[in-house]
Amino acid sequence: MIDIDTTNMCSHLQRKLFEADGIYHPFWLAMQNDPELTVVVRSRQLHIYRNSKKVLILAGKAAPMIIREDAICELINKQD
């Protein structure tokens, strides 16, 4: 299970990620079941890594930024 220090996380991102109706909530659920993923909060954004390689950045007000093609990035297309 992934544990995140939300101290420096944008409040918009927290709502989008942790609330059941949030646009990023499916990412949160997917991360819980994927032991290869790790996350770090940097500059109020959530940086998602697979096997120590950055794959995605989620921000509160900006669009998600895909760094590297990954299965978790497919959730972005499902949001549209």
- Residue ranges of domains in the chain: 6-79
DSSP annotation of 7: G
As a whole number of angstroms, the distance between CA 53 and CA 70 comes to 10
The pLDDT value given to residue 3: 79
- Structure confidence at residue 1 (pLDDT): 66
pLDDT at 5: 83
3-state helix, strand, coil in the chain (%, to 5): 35, 25, 40
What is the rounded CA–CA span in Å between residue 10 and residue 7?
A: 9
pLDDT of residue 36: 93
Flag residues of the chain having pLDDT under 70.
Answer: 1, 78-80
| 23-32 confidence digits (pLDDT tens) | 999 999 999 9
Q: Which of 42, 48, 39 is nearest to 71 (CA)?
A: 48
> What DSSP designation does 69 have?
-
